[in-house]
Amino acid sequence: MALIKSVRGFTPQIGEDCYLAENATVVGDVVMGKGCSVWFNTVLRGDVNPIRIGNHSNIQDGSVLHTLYEKSTVEIGDFVSIGHNVTVHGAKINNYALIGMGAILLDYAEVGEGAIVAAGALVLTNTKIPPFTLWAGVPAKFVKNVEPEQTNEINRKIAHQYAMYASWFKDEVK
């Protein structure tokens, strides 16, 4: 069972039909919608400020979500895929966005709906990534526009795949 820990009077709220890997850690002021998955070695640390996650989002292995004390917050929309080993520190990620493996998003960055942040990208503080764009590099820069239908289809597909993967673990006999 995942480590779910209260701190400073806040207890994480996990939506229905979510999967949390056995060694995932969810602490403090975290509110998660329905149908989400939080994978192995992932840490959602809502000890200093809130973390809010919409419905059907997946936060993959080794990722860390945290904030600045009493300043930034983490906001993640619906059908968001956060790849392996991603750091989200006080950033906002809108619906259907895809964050590639190993990316880093710093405080007050915002990723628009359906946008894609490439693997290994560094999204600097206060960066605003417009909807339906692809950004890559260190620091992350605009690469190209992407079609809304294409990115929504890709991200919905990934979110549904992760729901399927999660079902494999939920169905295991304990």
Q: How many domains does the chain have?
A: 1
Residue 171, SS3? coil
Long-range contacts of 112-115 (CB under 8 A, 24+ apart): 113/77, 114/146, 114/148, 114/151, 114/152, 114/155, 115/146, 115/151
More confident residue, 38 or 1: 38
Full-model pTM: 0.95
Question: Which tokens sit at 148?
Answer: 């809304």
Looking at residue 80, which CATH number applies to its domain? 2.160.10.10
pLDDT of res. 173 = 43
- CA distances in angstroms from 28 to 59, 86, 93, 150, 151, listed in the order given: 17, 20, 20, 36, 32
Domain containing 95: what range? 3-170
| pLDDT tens column, 84-121 | 999 999 999 999 999 999 999 999 999 999 999 999 99
Reply yes or no on whether the pLDDT at 170 is more than 80: no
